[in-house]
Structure 1
Amino acid sequence: MSPRRNTRPNIPKSSPDTPHSSRDTTPETTLNNPMRGEGTDQASLSPTGRQIEAPESQTPTVQISDIASQTAIQGAPIRVSLDNYYLSSELVPLLSEPDATSGIRTFKTRTYVELAEGGTVLLGRDAEQNYRARSSTELVASGPRLEQVEGSLLWRQIADQEMTHGSDADPYHRPADDEPSEAAAPKRPRTASEQSETTLQSAPTFQKNWGVDPKFTPSELITIGNVHYKMVTRTEARESPIIYIQSPAHPTYDFDLLDAILRHTPDEQPRGVIQVPPDNHWEIDARLPFKKPLTGYVRNRFPEVTTATLENIARKQFELTNNSPFATAGGLTALRQIFSSWENATHSLHPHWSDPLLMLPILPTSSASKGAARSIALPIPSSTGVLDRLDFDPLRFQRQWLYFMTTYSPVDFKRFMAALLTRNGYTVMEPTSFNSFPALVFQRTEHDYVFFMSLHRTRIPKISLPMYMDPVTAGTRLETQVGEAAAKVVQDAHNANKIIWLKGGTEIRPGIADTIFIIRDDNARL
């Protein structure tokens, strides 16, 4: 072992998540153990510990002696240097505040702890599930072993011999946020009787070591089988038949944290707890509430939206269902209900949280001044987390897009947009062959709202609405514009206050990628 250095090495000044995409091979940051591969969030390698070389073969001899537990090496505890694991002080302010229970700080999907002796390190697990300092270039932590200082939010280094393997005393025992879920718990061989019992079980049992000590946990708790669990926030305004418990090492879930957990370590997501009759005792449902990331559900349902729109829909949906930037028990249940209605094409209990067209804000129309037309300014397509427009990516339907770019027929425009809406889960009424004032009428399985969308092509960041382009001013009957059947559906929806007015089409201009957009306005056709 190299002697301990008294100075800390220079750590590359970059974002805490940068090393996961580019491995630093400088001597100061390269570890001695072999790497299984580049560290990426999507990695799914099965972690392994260090391999010990087999000794040279020797002539076997038989010796009889007493075996006692005291035969372990009695030398001084081994302490490995932390010098190569300290996070640069310039990056520490980017981390979240320490969790009130575990002291763990986060940046995206990574977890960090502050040491009692000073400094901050990335936290991970080794192959035996012990906490260790972790290099950002490795999947399985191989640095010095760490433990939380009792009654404190700080952590400290311990020698390998000072902690027993598989201890159940640590209530914060869990994989680091960006480690593969396969490393969730140490495995042991099961007996034949255990295997048969598992086969006979109708549902998996919850085996996470998420118990906490109430003295050190100010969060709301629930006690099940004499074990105290940290609960996901509940709001008095929304009663939910299901409550949720969470890992004590997790802070309150915002969208980014929950989506990252579902993506990288889905086994660490919150679990539902329900009351079971006849005595209404609480039981933990070991099944995973979510099968994929929140953005994954949106992508399956709206396969052709842009990546920015995809995240904006998922984020807006999360905030609406929870009525907060943070997850609540009622919000998690509502999300599960929405995703179930999507998968089964059934009526949604929460249509305004289910359909992104119902989530869109109503954009204002400028007042017409003398000699000028009215217009609607188009928001800039971005990934800022604001859902003020829907954008569809032409690269996801290149054949249809290339054909559409060769024609200026209003009928082809209607057919192109109708096919796009159909591929993304909407039911469009048959477009008419009327060439002026193209528009579509469509609906969705999950609710009974009706959409009326007029179609536009623009090469500027707004939709101009001159008087001669208004079908009402031009005296065009609704039946002529969209057909008799569609006109009746629109009229009935209008009378029931179930009509949504939209504008959509193509935006092709310098500085942004070509896109097909949909916005919401309040320019009623009736």
Structure 2
Amino acid sequence: MLLGHDAEGHHRARSSAELVASGPRLEQVAGSLLWRRVAVAVESDSSDASLTMTLHSLSDDDSSEATAPKRQRTTPAPTPQNEASVEPPPVFRPEWAFKPTLALPQFITVSGVHYKVMSRMDAREFPILYIQPPLHPAYDFDVLEAILRHTPEEQPRAVIRVPPHDHWEIDARLPFEKTLTAHVRDIFPEVTTVTLENIARRQFELANSSPYADAAGLTALRQIFHSWKHATPSPHPQWSDPLLMLSTLPTTAGITNTSRAIDLPAPSSTGALNRLDFDPMRFRQQWEYFLSTYSTIDFKRFMAGLLTRNGYTVMEPNNFNSFPALVFRRTGHDYLFFMSLHRTRIPKLSLPTHNNPNTTGMNLETQVGDAAAQAVKDAHEANRIVWLKGGSQILPGVADTVFIIRDDNARL
């Protein structure tokens, strides 16, 4: 419930859909921010006559309807325990308001105050708007990330139309509880710092269809982070999983007429999301064991463990000792991943013919097991399969890493 005025100017409780408050009449407790119901004469038993009501700002779990007040036994004399606690209304810094002129950007008016609307030249139409401090520039990834890190109270605020008269109301909640990279770190705890920023930046640009934010893009990011937090299907699956956002790397001719190779971008490359890297220092015990064994089965178990710790569901690896590969998926979308596993000590993946299961006639069921093979075939038929390569890369003078790339070289 919110605080408002009735037709006579008295303070009353109101719902967000009311322009004129119609709820119980309230009075402020002197010297505090608390409000209580104005005492009225009643003929019923005084122990049941007093009703208490809490006024609060809207939250994610609030419904659009007012909650009925609950009866609560009280003593005849009001005490702080039976006074309703009221959160102060959203307060915006004075400089958020401005006097619009023809030279100033688009604005909206909320309760008689003008606010600058976050926008850009090619902004998409969207039912939710965001207001911003008038001196802020357009929000690219770096600007928004810096604001969220240093002055989160200055991030754009959502503004929505409220029926029945479609007047604008400012959502007092902060759209983002933490930086964009912190949201990614919560879900992918073992990626390198470079990969962390590359994921967040690419996600920002894809959601906004631009290097600069618009209302549709910020709302999409909020929906993605909500689906991550609650492990629910995402309304934007193509931007929810970094494996779906990876660029496809080309396969080129190898050193022989029949071999092929994939040049790997440097692990330190920034800006583009063309590989995912996981930092072995974040799973040191598993990494040290991996380095001590050259067992194909141990390789599959090592990579399956890494994927599981970072939110993927891996189909049980089999005990076949050649052509290591994993089949896995992620909650939130219906794509299936097939990843062949490799070790490399050079800046590329060499793919000789004798290591290609397609050219050697290797049966898919033998390679990954019957259940995984059937899942791959079904996903391939439904055009819901993503072909990956991953494994370890150890280079001189460069930190060791576990990588994943997308090549789209179909196993089928």
Structure 1 position 245, deviation (Å): 0.3
Match of 2:57 in 1: 202
Match of 1:411 in 2: 297
> Does the CA-based 8 Å contact 2:258-2:353 persist in structure 1?
no
Match of 1:376 in 2: 262
* Structure 1: segments with no counterpart, 5+ residues: 1-189
Match of 1:473 in 2: 359
Structure 1 position 207, deviation (Å): 1.3
Counterpart CA distance in 2 for 1:476 and 1:457 is 20
Q: Deviations over 1:420-450 (max 9, x none)?
A: 0000000000000000000000000010000
Normalised by the length of structure 2, the TM-score is 0.79
Q: Deviations over 1:76-104 (max 9, x none)?
A: xxxxxxxxxxxxxxxxxxxxxxxxxxxxx
Matched, 1:258 2:144: yes
Give the alignment of 1:262-273 within 5 angstroms.
Answer: 262-273=148-159
- Distance change >3 Å, CA 510–CA 369, structure 1 → 2: closer
Structure 1 position 201, deviation (Å): 2.6
Residue identity in the other structure for 2:358: V
> Does the CA-based 8 Å contact 1:230-1:245 persist in structure 2?
yes
Counterpart CA distance in 2 for 1:228 and 1:234 is 18
Query: Any idea what SS the aligned residue of 2:292 has?
Result: coil
Counterpart CA distance in 2 for 1:218 and 1:200 is 37
Counterpart CA distance in 1 for 2:197 and 2:247 is 17
Moved more, 209-218 or 282-291: 209-218
Structure 1 position 265, deviation (Å): 1.2
Matched, 1:435 2:321: yes
> Does the CA-based 8 Å contact 2:124-2:214 persist in structure 1?
no
Q: Deviations over 1:106-165 (max 9, x none)?
A: xxxxxxxxxxxxxxxxxxxxxxxxxxxxxxxxxxxxxxxxxxxxxxxxxxxxxxxxxxxx
> Does the CA-based 8 Å contact 2:254-2:350 persist in structure 1?
no
Counterpart CA distance in 1 for 2:310 and 2:328 is 12
Structure 1 position 220, deviation (Å): 1.2
- Distance change >3 Å, CA 230–CA 412, structure 1 → 2: same
> Does the CA-based 8 Å contact 2:120-2:138 persist in structure 1?
no
> Does the CA-based 8 Å contact 1:234-1:330 persist in structure 2?
no
Structure 1 position 291, deviation (Å): 0.5
Query: Any idea what SS the aligned residue of 2:148 has?
Result: helix
Residue identity in the other structure for 1:202: S
Counterpart CA distance in 1 for 2:304 and 2:103 is 54
Structure 1 position 371, deviation (Å): 4.1
Counterpart CA distance in 2 for 1:411 and 1:445 is 26
Structure 1 position 380, deviation (Å): 0.6
Query: Any idea what SS the aligned residue of 2:340 has?
Result: strand
Residue identity in the other structure for 1:425: G
> Does the CA-based 8 Å contact 1:295-1:311 persist in structure 2?
yes
Counterpart CA distance in 1 for 2:176 and 2:255 is 52
* Structure 2: segments with no counterpart, 5+ residues: 1-28, 37-52, 59-86
Normalised by the length of structure 1, the TM-score is 0.62
